């Protein structure tokens, strides 16, 4: 039978049990789970000849709502069939049939990431939102992001076009949105780390801007990966995804259950923190 290529949208929640998204032989990862599910449901016979390709890789604890992968198969995927053998913190929810030479990685026009930062109590630390938004504006456009990336052993081009760098406040949360065709390793988490320094006043805007102009690499710790979400990957209007209702409902039900679970935990610790024993 003729094999066709299918592009799949999927979500996952990064956690302690997954060593990032990229497949590994010694550690459990998001890709490992997906590949096993495709093998178990007989959509692929072996990974070496399946044309399996993931559009973006993420580090441990990073989550995704609209990541993508593609593979070759003799039959169209029934997403709930695959989801039935996946853990609830991973799920496929939409698909599109594409040309066999389509690349889920290189045909992406842009990737959108969001980063969530929890603001501490004002008496603990105050953040200058105006200065942080100014820092985001500095990042927009084409720059050499060497100092906003993890040092690689091999020489790579560190110039990127940042289409969008935006910051919005939602209650006691800061929501950052970044959009580009491609990002360097740890680029977003390192941009966040320095923007937050601008926010608390330990890094001036001029010093922040100079990070884009200095040729020497500067080493520092990136922001916590738990706040980072691969939000979406856009391939242009010619690629139309079909959302599977059952799979989408499964995803939203899981998000809802986790929201309730952690809302309870949040309230529990709030009471423990702010109420004296009497």
pLDDT means per 10 residues, the chain with 278 residues, are 96 95 91 97 95 96 98 97 98 98 98 96 83 98 95 85 97 97 97 98 96 85 98 97 98 97 90 76
Q: Residue 278 has what pLDDT?
A: 62
**What does residue 58 show for φ and ψ, rounded to 5 degrees?**
-130, 155
Q: To 5 degrees, how large is the angle CA 265–CA 266–CA 268? A: 60
Q: Residue 174 has what pLDDT?
A: 97
What does the block give as tokens for 171? 């209650």
Rounded distance between C-alpha atoms, residue 83 and residue 78, angstroms: 9
Q: Residue 63 has what pLDDT?
A: 98
| Residue ranges of the chain that CATH labels 3.30.70.580 | 4-107+244-273
What angle in degrees, to the nearest 10, is found between the helix axes of 129-139 and 187-200?
140
Mention every residue, 6+ apart, whose C-beta is less than 8 A from residue 29. 18, 19, 20, 21, 22, 23
What does the block give as tokens for 260? 């309730």
Fold of 4-107+244-273: Alpha-Beta Plaits (3.30.70)
Q: Look-up: residue for tokens 């995804």?
A: 241
The closest of 132, 183, 193, 176 to 162, measured between CA atoms, is: 183
| Residue ranges of the chain that CATH labels 3.30.70.660 | 110-230
| 126 noted as active-site residue | no
Fold of 110-230: Alpha-Beta Plaits (3.30.70)
Rounded distance between C-alpha atoms, residue 135 and residue 6, angstroms: 40
Candidate list 59, 89, 144, 224, residue with the active-site label: 59
Q: Residue 9 has what pLDDT?
A: 99
Q: Residue 85 has what pLDDT?
A: 98
**Cα–Cα separations (whole angstroms), residue 123 to 63, 86, 120, 268, 273:** 31, 44, 8, 21, 15
This prediction's pTM: 0.94
């Amino acid at each position: 039978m003729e094999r066709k290529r299918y592009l799949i949208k999927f979500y996952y929640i990064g956690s302690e049990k997954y060593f990032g998204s990229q497949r590994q032989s010694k550690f459990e990862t998001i890709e490992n789970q997906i590949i096993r599910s495709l093998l178990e449901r007989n959509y692929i016979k072996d990974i070496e000849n399946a044309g399996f390709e993931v559009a973006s890789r993420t580090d441990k604890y990073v989550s995704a709502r609209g990541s993508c992968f593609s593979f070759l198969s003799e039959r169209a995927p029934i997403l709930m069939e695959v989801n039935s053998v996946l853990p609830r913190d991973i799920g496929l929810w939409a698909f599109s049939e594409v040309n066999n030479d389509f690349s889920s990685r290189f045909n992406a026009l842009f990737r959108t990431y969001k980063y969530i930062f929890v603001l501490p109590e004002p008496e603990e630390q105050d953040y200058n939102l105006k200065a942080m938004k100014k820092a985001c504006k500095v990042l927009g456009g084409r720059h050499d992001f060497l100092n906003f990336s993890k040092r690689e052993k091999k020489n790579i081009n560190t110039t990127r076009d940042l289409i969008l760098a935006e910051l919005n406040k939602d209650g006691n949360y800061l929501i950052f949105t970044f959009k580009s065709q491609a990002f360097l390793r740890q680029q977003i988490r390192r941009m966040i780390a320095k923007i937050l320094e601008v926010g608390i006043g330990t890094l001036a805007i001029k010093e922040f801007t100079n990070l884009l102009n200095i040729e020497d690499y500067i080493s520092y710790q990136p922001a916590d990966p738990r706040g980072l979400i691969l939000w979406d990957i856009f391939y242009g209007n010619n690629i139309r995804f079909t959302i599977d209702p059952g799979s989408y409902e499964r995803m939203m039900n899981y998000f809802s259950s986790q929201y309730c679970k952690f809302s309870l935990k949040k309230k529990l610790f709030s009471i423990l923190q702010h109420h004296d024993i009497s």
